[in-house]
Structure 1
Amino acid sequence: MTRTINRLKLIFLGVFAVLSVGVLVWQVGWVMPMKKCEEAHKWWDHGQRVCAQPVLISDITGRTIQDKEAEAAARAAIGRPPAPVQNP
């Protein structure tokens, strides 16, 4: 009986150790980089573990956003400073 209890104790300790290491790897490998990425107003991809910089459609197409409030909101959403004011 004592032998069985010792064996079960070692099995449970082994499972606990493996799960603890798994949680540590998850925190360091996925959760901490995700939080840093989201604090920087970027996009986090869980599958590839990539932090990507969002791009405004107006940057790609060259068309400007006509509504200044909407443009300011879009820039704030991706963490960019407001557009400089152009004097005619």
Structure 2
Amino acid sequence: MNPDIERLKLIFIGLFVAGAIGVGAWQIGWEGPRRACEGQGKWWDYSQRVCAQPVLISDITGRTIQDKQAEAEAQAAIGRQPAPTAK
């Protein structure tokens, strides 16, 4: 058989194997953790590969949300249970 064809065959097989390993590394290193993070209702940062918990601005500033319905909706959006109301 022609040695050029044999060499090209090995090059293409090598490229295929390298691509398959790259796709596998992407799935294991980035896609799997992203899906697990977003499944928990958190935020995934691709650049640093960090799963972060969303925080309400009122938690940072100390200012409370005056409208109780809006506060309940904001807490539900980040996955928190609303605070129990005193009777």
TM-score, length of structure 1 as denominator length: 0.90
What residue is the counterpart of 2:6 in the other structure?
6
Report the number of matched residues: 87
Once the 2 structures are TM-superposed, how far is the Cα of residue 86 of structure 1 from its aligned partner? 2.5
Distance 1:86 1:21 in 2: 57
| Unaligned residue ranges in structure 1 (runs of 5+) | none
CA RMSD of aligned residues (A): 1.2
> In structure 1, the residue corresponding to 2:15 is in which secondary structure?
helix
- Percent identity reads 64
| Unaligned residue ranges in structure 2 (runs of 5+) | none
What residue is the counterpart of 1:36 in the other structure?
36
Distance 1:28 1:54 in 2: 24
Once the 2 structures are TM-superposed, how far is the Cα of residue 11 of structure 1 from its aligned partner? 0.3
What residue is the counterpart of 1:77 in the other structure?
77
> In structure 2, the residue corresponding to 1:51 is in which secondary structure?
strand
Once the 2 structures are TM-superposed, how far is the Cα of residue 76 of structure 1 from its aligned partner? 1.4
